[in-house]
Structure 1
Amino acid sequence: MKARPMGPVCKSCKSPGARPGRRCTVCAMRKTFIGVRLRRLREERGMNQAALAHALELSPSYLNQLEQNQRPLTVAVLLKINRMFGLDVQMFSDDDEARLISDLREVLAHAAAPDTVSLAEVRELAAGMPAVARTLIRMHGRQREALARIEDMALRLGDERSGLPGIPPMPYEEVRDFFTARQNHIGELDEAAERMAAEWAGSESVAQGLERRLQQRHAVRVVQTDPDSGDTVQRCYDPQRRLLQLSASLDAGQAAFQMATQLAFLEMSDMLHRLSASADLSCEPARALARIGLANYFAGALLLPYTRFLEAAEAWRYDIDRLGRRFGVGFETVCHRLSTLQRPSARAVPFFFVRVDRAGNISKRQSATHFHFSRAGGTCPLWNVYEAFAQPGRILTQLARMPDGRAYLWVARSVSSAQEGYGQPGKTFAIGLGCDIQHAPRLVYAKGLDLKDPQVPTPIGMGCKVCEREACPQRAFPFIGRQIDIDENRRTLTPYPVQNRAGSGANGVSSANGPSGPSGANGP
């Protein structure tokens, strides 16, 4: 069966169905209306409309129209709000709204409500009542995490016990959300690291500068562990002996990173504690993990100082291998640092960074923009990050399109650490670095790719359980919230075909269809 043509595609948002000479419906919906947020801002400060209008140098009638969503937010009004209240303009950004919309759609997909909530309603909730939207997302996240743990416990106990009380998020999940909420950029640490790096720039190597500073400022001696000891600890600091031990298996860049991390704990301790204490973290283990994450952030910023690194990245069109050789660090470190370059006065390409293993587990994920990683478990097998394992050491590129119509350029490569000895396991991961297709021309990896043809990007999703692509032949699980079309007399190429809105099969014939996966009625 031939796929129906998509029709014209909007040049701005890449949404199908645009009409020549008219504004795309999706773009028209993206005017920023802030009525609820503005009322909340005013009420929190105990102001009436007349007082706020006077403070913002607006007429009371115009402010009333803004609060009633009869007028969209303008840049001039946004700047006045920023000057008056010192608010982060990101509070009203499209990226924050896009992330909320994506999270809400995932929540609604899992809710499996009989009445379908339209995209327009989801957009209105995210734009008009973001606090309500975030509350729904948090409630759903906690419910999902509790259910997952109940299932794990049931497997361990060998039964299907339920009714266990809800369990709060794990500390590492809270810390991950802490960095995501800040778009993976901590300006205070970046600036402090850049000032420190400038002290030895050009006079000695980074490793020499770090070792000298540890010795002179803190009387800390750096030694290597015995390579034959079998110890797997990479960094161990003894505060009583003022001794920092580094594993002999570390290369120069890794050793410098560990020294920089320890320097962060010694010199930036007050800032690390203040930043972790100011975060909405529920327990001390979460705050301790946050301090470790912040120290690692400082270490990366110290090895790759913001201004020098950004200038080199722009000059070399974000060539990762070239940047790694210039600054003496590995592929993963460069990719992670690129995902943090969002200083308001000097922004780089907004990247998203991910690290996965062969089993599909995501051990690291950071985003400087609106890209959403699924928390439901599993990712898309059509994503080139997984192909990287089959071609070790080779950089792979891919244009990919998400179900919401947005297209991205992805760069992926596998990275490995050597085995300590015969029979000892090593580590292999795939590193993915992505950006919106609008930024792709700034990257060397866009060479030879057709960025304008809407048919070129590979259709991928956040994971089979929440992916809306009904015709995907790689689907491993049915889409949550849609009834499977079960028919023992018919088999399709698509695993887990779904019923249409009327309750009949894809061809309009009423049926009771079975999954065509390995364990379904249409098995191999």
Structure 2
Amino acid sequence: MGVRLRRLREERGLTQVALARALDLSASYLNQLEKNQRPLTVPILLKINAVFGVDVQLFSEDEEARLIADLRDVMADPGLDEEIALTELREIASNMPAVGRAIVKQHRRLRQASERADALAMRLGVGTEEHEPAQLMPFEQVRDYFYAHHNYFAELDEAAEKLFAAARLTVGDCAAGLKRYLSDRLRIQVVIEAPNEQTHAQRSFEAPARVLRLSSTLMPGQLAFEMATQLAYLEMGDTIDKLARDAASGSEETYRLARIGLANHFAGALIMPYGRFFEAAERLRYDIELLRQRFGVGFETICHRLSTLQRPNARGVPFFFVRVDRAGNISKRQSATDFHFSRVGGSCPLWNVYEAFSVPGRILTQLATMPDGRTYLWIARTVSRGHGGYGAPSKTFAIGLGCDMSHANRLVYAKGLDLKDQSAAVPIGAGCKICERPACPQRAFPAIGRRTAIDENERRFTPYPVA
């Protein structure tokens, strides 16, 4: 933490004496802080926040862990042909965080450039390299943008709370109030009708006619969410546009996807306003079923909203939210914590999110340890959706919600678990290709950057043993 304090001082062009005076400390005490000989206490952090207006999250261990996770993702690139020890990455993250962030940014630019070069080569009919390029797709750019912002956007959350009050909405029954607001304030007619049999559209807005059509198959909470999403484009268009252009980096497709993601964020914040939702979550110990009953929305919507509670003066549990299908494809991934799975080689089959498919509708809990020693509490359950009668196709996903073990005692789901017994935790990894566990029976691929022990005269229980 001393390195970060010193960097903050140098960025402001202050001497140690000047900063010590601003923080009401002695110069010798500040010198000890910068040399990591004294801890940064909460009162000092609050003084730093008051004097400089910086988020105390800058001094959080979670920020360092997030950077380590990003650096490990970079070093997993097979093109580097270099095995970097985790201790070295920790050194960079703790003592040279700005350098670490620059490495991550440069690597992402390289991936984008490689993607463009490969696309151009395909158009020109020129052969590409044998290995598949690491592509950063538009939806991945949007994921990274939300990840960088801890899945929280103050502009949207604060505006949603004000609109909730102005529209006189009711917690748990927002649909009627939103319909009234759209009609009285914006002169928009809301029509609930059977969905188009060809498109099965749940929401369709006809701007010239000022008509918002919603599917009659939607539940009240879903109707409220769709109306709130359309309201986001109408009332918060400029703010959403600014944030989306910041996320897009010139990509039109990324820009449009970011607008949808930000509008959905605003919709969730409107029907589950931050202050009320945070108070209820803390009081109910993050019981998802009770929160569903309180706010009148689905399991997935509650889990997604829980992953956004990162307001500086009222932080909830920093969650990692994920949605996967039976094939292991991750279709949603939002993180307010340092945890994230690598893009290289999928996720871990020992993770309880996949087990949820075997017991549909039941909430499963799991203590899981990552290779770096950090342990997480995971909650998983399946959700299903359909849009027709008998024989019509439906979709089923598993929803996962996880937090660091340091926050587990705040959750009702820790009841009955021995949080102090490290041996009870299931060892999982970020993905087979970068997981360094040497004896995992579920390994699907050899680890990148490590030589596999190949012996035709011996067969082991553990696949792809490391030499």
1:123-142 aligned within 5 A: 123-142=90-109
Partner of 2:2: 33
Helix, strand or coil: the match of 1:106? helix
The residue identity in structure 2 corresponding to 1:430 is: A
Give, in whole Å, the separation in 1 of the partners of 2:106 and 2:341.
18
Higher relative contact order (CA 8 A, sep 6+): 2
Match of 2:227 in 1: 259
Which position in structure 2 is the counterpart of 1:435? 403
**1:489 match:** 457
- Tell me the CA shift for residue 322 of structure 1: 2.3
**Aligned residue number for residue 361 of structure 1:** 329
Contact 2:344/2:431, CA 8 A, preserved across alignment = yes
Task: Tell me whether 1:464 sits opposite 2:428 in the alignment.
Answer: no
In the TM superposition, 1:227-246 aligns within 5 A as 227=195, 229-246=197-214
Identity %: 60
Q: Confirm whether residue 215 of structure 1 aligns to residue 215 of structure 2.
A: no
- The alpha-carbon deviation at position 334 of structure 1 amounts to 0.6
Cα deviation for residue 153 of structure 1 reads: 9.9
Matches within 5 A, 1:44-193: 44-46=11-13, 55-56=22-23, 69=35, 71=37, 74-75=40-41, 77-110=44-77, 117-143=84-110, 161-162=128-129, 169-193=136-160
Task: Please say which of residues 195-204 and 350-359 is displaced more in the overlay.
Answer: 195-204
**Secondary structure at the residue paired with 1:353?**
strand
Gaps of 5+ in 1: 1-31, 500-524
| Alpha carbons 1:112, 1:481 under 8 Å: kept | no
1:488-507 maps to which residues of 2 (within 5 A)? 488-499=456-467
**Cα pair distance change 1:158/1:55, threshold 3 Å:** same
Q: Is the 8 A contact 2:307 2:336 kept in 1?
A: yes
Query: 1:312 and 2:280 equivalent?
Result: yes
Which of 344, 353, 357 is the equivalent residue of 1:385?
A: 353
**Runs of at least 5 residues in structure 2 that lack an aligned partner in the other structure:** none
Query: 1:314-463 counterparts in 2 under 5 A?
Result: 314-420=282-388, 424-463=392-431
Question: Residues 150 and 162 of structure 1 are in contact (CA less than 8 Å); yes or no, is this contact kept in structure 2?
Answer: no
The residue type paired with residue 305 of structure 1 is P
- Given that residues 194 and 217 in structure 2 are in contact (C-alpha distance below 8 angstroms), is that contact kept between their aligned partners in structure 1? no
Task: Please identify which structure carries the higher helix content.
Answer: 2
When structure 1 is superposed on structure 2, of 79-88 and 132-141 the one drifting more is 79-88
- Kindly tell me: are residues 282 and 186 of structure 1, through their superposed partners in 2, closer, same or farther at Cα, counting changes over 3 Å? same
User: What is the alpha-carbon distance in structure 1 between the residues aligned to residue 271 and residue 87 of structure 2?
Assistant: 45
Task: Say if 2:324 and 2:331, in contact at 8 Å, map to a contact too.
Answer: yes
Q: TM-score, with normalisation over the residues of structure 2?
A: 0.88
Shift of the 205–77 alpha-carbon distance from structure 1 to 2, 3 Å rule, reads closer
Q: Call closer, same or farther: CA 1:347–1:282 in 2, change over 3 Å.
A: same
Count of aligned positions: 465
Cα separation, partners in 2 of 1:375 and 1:230, compared to 1, 3 Å: same
Contact 1:224 1:245 in 2 (8 A): yes
Name the CA distance, whole Å, in 2 between partners of 1:443 and 1:54. 42
Shift in CA distance, 74/207, structure 1 to aligned 2, threshold 3 Å: same
The amino acid across from 1:369 in the alignment is: T
Structure 1, 416-425 or 213-222: larger mean CA deviation: 416-425
Deviation track 1:119-162 (CA, whole Å, cap 9, x = no partner) reads: 43322211222121112223334545666888899999999623
Q: Are the equivalent residues in 2 in contact too, given 1:142–1:169 (CA < 8 A)?
A: no
Q: For residues 143 and 314 of structure 1, what CA distance do their matches in structure 2 show?
A: 42
Taking the aligned partners of 1:432 and 1:47, their CA distance within structure 2 comes to: 45
The CA RMSD measured in Å over matched residues stands at 3.3
TM-score (normalised: structure 1): 0.79
Q: Write the letter of the residue equivalent to 1:133.
A: G
How far did 1:114 drift? Answer: 7.5
Q: What is the CA deviation profile of residues 305-327 of structure 1, one whole-angstrom value per residue up to 9, with x for unaligned ones? A: 22322333233322212221222
Instruction: Give secondary structure in 1 for the equivalent of 2:367.
Output: strand
Match of 1:271 in 2: 239
Q: Is the 8 A contact 1:174 1:281 kept in 2?
A: no
Q: Which has the greater radius of gyration?
A: 1
